[in-house]
Structure 1
């Protein structure tokens, strides 16, 4: 999420995230409304939603989506707070970038405004253009464990220790979100 197409540089090495501003009544929480119209609006990408009570050991975030027919990349991030005026929060527990051109799944974290090294190794690339997928982000004691379609994709060690402060989910890029839980 630190990269954006046409984004404005906020500070050296950091770029603004461009997300539409939504009010509390716009349904930008992880809980999904029952009507089809409200569900479509609340899951529109780019998406920014609140994680009730933050993350904790044993909690997981489930994202069901469909890759766009002509994908470039998409991002999923777990952050501490929503950020200010399009600028990312200073603490990002996990930023996941799926790049289709080179079939990479990149992960990194930002602690106190400083981005860490990028993890790249994955055993397989599970995302196929125009196809559905189910991603699960499990919060464990020392790491996030990420599964796609039931297969473990990677582990990402926690860089932030206050798990309960990880309270926002960001999604943007070449995908359609059909369900969040």
Structure 2
């Protein structure tokens, strides 16, 4: 039951300590192995109150700057550039949404074309590659900003040479899907089976009300396992919709791990008698089977106020 732990040990999910306020000394973080398409850098920060000036994030390759990302608060502007010996042509983008005194989320998705930048859940700009992403060795942050969480999600395309060996993860039958849109729907290859493990990484949207995972037997339309975190109620509801009728709800959890704007990792494992559900590496609850032919569960939908970073089934 250590799938999430294994992810971290293999470097698939890399959690860096938040550097806090970087104005006085800046912050430098090594990125081992460089970047590749399918990887994401996810940062949660706070812009200082008052009249902050600017901050920058630089993805470095030695003395060269592969990606220069600079926010100018007062002008509502972001400047992108690359420095190889000298600075190249700037790309300027207005209407940047990061505001003084506010928390914000910033994601750099590495794609085949470039860096897709997402700010506060909305696509902001695609900065096309000018240097190879795999040359990145360091991330440097400076200026008027605080970061309290930095996560890196790696893809699986590197194979065993880079240490990301998915064979060691129990009963995962497919490669991961990265950054799928919501609502999300997929088939479960060969249906549910004993010891099958499914892993989901995501973030609860700011102002979220609820979101839901539904495991469905498509032959009957039954929602065999309905897993429904409700933020406004501070509850995690579980139920089954079988033969056109809802059963009795279960909602008790010792600790609710879902918070607005925060990242989460959920692992669901199918046992002979029940589903075991873990969140952020800790057991959250068991859900006893109400539909005994669980092998007929062959599809999954995810919808609601959530952003998905990766799905492994």
Q: TM-score range by the shorter chain?
A: 0.7 to 0.9
Gaps of 5+ in 2: 1-173
* Structure 1 residue 164: Cα displacement: 1.6
The alpha-carbon deviation at position 118 of structure 1 amounts to 0.3
SS in 2 for 1:180: strand
The Cα shift of 1:31 comes to 4.7
* Partner residue in 2 for 1:96: 227
Structure 1: distance between partners of 2:175 and 2:213: 17
* CA distance, structure 2, for counterparts of residue 91 and residue 173 of structure 1: 19
Partner of 2:258: 127
In the other structure, the counterpart of 1:17 is none
Larger RCO (CA within 8 A; separation ≥ 6): 1
Match of 2:293 among 138, 162, 166: 162
- What's the secondary structure of 1:164's corresponding residue? helix
Looking at structure 1, the residues matched to 298 and 221 of structure 2 have their Cα atoms a distance apart, in angstroms, of: 13
Structure 1 residue 90, shift from structure 2 partner: 3.3
Task: Output the CA distance in 2 between the equivalents of 1:31 and 1:49.
Answer: 13
Alpha-carbon offset, residue 110 of structure 1: 1.6
Structure that is richer in strand per residue:
2
Q: Say whether residues 1:111 and 2:242 are aligned partners.
A: yes
Aligned residues between the structures: 139
Task: Tell me the equivalent position of 2:208.
Answer: 71
**What CA deviation, in whole Å up to 9, does each residue of 1:120-164 have, x standing for no partner?**
111011012111100011100100011000111110000111122
Provide the TM-score with structure 1 as the length reference. 0.72
1:152 to 267, 275, 283: 283
Q: Name the structure 2 match of 1:14.
A: none
Distance in 2 (CA, whole Å) between partners of 1:68 and 1:156 is: 25
> Distance in 1 between the 2:284 and 2:224 partners?
17
Q: Counterparts of 1:135 and 1:109 in 2: how far apart (Å)?
A: 19
Structure 1 residues 28-80: Cα deviation after superposition (integer angstroms, max 9, x where no partner): xx7546xxxxx44xx10111111001111100111110110111110011111
Q: The residue matched to 1:96 in structure 2 has which SS?
A: strand
CA distance in 2, matches of 1:60, 1:79: 16
* Aligned position for 2:188: 51
- Spell out structure 1 runs of 4+ moving beyond 3 A: 30-33
Q: 1-side partners of 2:272 and 2:251: how far apart?
A: 22
Alignment root-mean-square deviation, CA = 1.6
| Cα distance change of structure 1 residues 66 and 146 upon mapping to structure 2, 3 Å threshold | same
| Larger CA Rg, structure 1 vs 2 | 2
Instruction: Indicate the residue corresponding to 1:27 in structure 2.
Output: none
Measure, in 1, the Cα distance between the counterparts of 2:259 and 2:242: 32
Matched residues in 1 for 2:221 and 2:245: separation? 8
